[in-house]
Amino acid sequence: MKTYALFQEYIWLVNTIHKARGITFGEINRKWLETEMSEGVSLARSTFNRHKDAIQDMFGIYIECDKKNGFKYYIGNEEVLDEDSIQNWVLSTLSVNNILSESRSVHDRILLESIPSDGENLHRFINAMKRNLRIIVRYQRYASEYETSMKVEPYCVKLFNRRWYSLVKSLKNGDYFLLAFDRIKSLELTEEKFTLDEDFNATRWFHDCYGIVRDNNISVQRIVIRAFGNEAFYMRDLPMHPSQKEISRTDEYSDFELTLSPTGDFHTPLLARGGAIKVLEPQWLADTIRDFHLMAVKRYE
């Protein structure tokens, strides 16, 4: 069987078990026979077991069997599919690719957003991470006429708002800072090895951030946002941050609480919602958003 077809089956199997939250092999087989992939042929137990092992090896997703509950299969580490993890991202991406590949007859009616990035530089950066090699980057910041060359240590990559970013460590002062991949002019691997800081964890590093900006001068704070009308539904369906929770609801509005560091990149989505939301707490953030709106009004006077 071709590799692509196997990936389709892996993705289908994970999605089927994940959605069911507990499903027997017989039920899996019945659902399998309803797909075009089956071509009317039942899913063999041996094939299922091979797929299960391959999914664990390739995606780090564990398919377990609850023998005490009717031999139902479930995702043993389901948290990786419910968080901002590489497994979830890869699986989601491949799932979309499957859908698109099966929709060639309407390809001109499926419109996608492009992600500005040099795939070769991303590949090199990840390769440097795997090998713990320092890199030399030639970089041009926005509003700068000049390029800067620097030797840094690659720590992690993050996709945010359709842009790839890299977190690197300076050799001069040991500080961490971000580089946008679409501003990298060249990236070269050196033969110099480095040791990752023992206490570094990429998920923890960005845990209290809205996106990619981390400012030690802005503390983690409780933020309360009031969403009016349909905006409340939008915020429920697409939370602004993993910490978001709804704390009150009326016919006119809902209040949401978030816990994060409200850096400048958090202001942008608040401003984009215009009059559909209002910042209730903290007061300084409410004043900041208000001032930005007043400034925008003056632009039209």
Q: What is the pLDDT of residue 128?
A: 95
Q: What is the DSSP letter of 164?
A: E
Q: Which domains does the chain have, with CATH numbers?
A: 3-103 (1.10.10), 119-205 (2.30.30.520), 221-299 (3.30.70)
**pLDDT by position in tens, the chain (length 301):** 566 678 888 888 988 998 898 999 999 999 999 888 888 999 999 999 999 999 888 888 899 999 999 999 999 987 777 666 666 666 666 666 666 666 667 767 766 666 666 578 888 999 999 999 999 999 998 888 899 999 999 999 998 888 899 999 999 999 999 999 999 999 999 999 999 999 999 989 999 999 999 998 999 999 999 999 999 999 999 999 999 999 999 999 999 999 999 999 999 999 999 999 999 999 999 999 999 999 999 999 8
Q: Is the pTM of this model over 0.75?
A: no
Cα(279)–Cα(256) distance, integer angstroms: 10
Q: What is the pLDDT of residue 37?
A: 83
Cα(40)–Cα(29) distance, integer angstroms: 11
Please give the span between the terminal C-alpha atoms of the chain, in angstroms, as a whole number: 66
Q: What is the pLDDT of residue 87?
A: 61
Q: What is the pLDDT of residue 151?
A: 96
Crossing angle of the two packed helices 3-20 and 45-59, in degrees rounded to 10? 90
Q: What is the pLDDT of residue 58?
A: 81
Q: Are 297 and 245 in contact (CB under 8 A)?
A: no
Of 263, 257, 260, the residue nearest 288 (C-alpha):
263
What token pair was written down for 268? Answer: 């942008």
Give yes or no for a cis peptide into 282 (omega within 30° of 0): yes
Q: What is the pLDDT of residue 59?
A: 80
Q: Are 266 and 210 in contact (CB under 8 A)?
A: yes
Q: What is the DSSP letter of 43?
A: P
- Is the backbone of residue 174 left (phi > 0), alpha (psi -120 to 50) or beta? left
Cα dihedral: 195, 155, 210, 119 (round 10) = -170
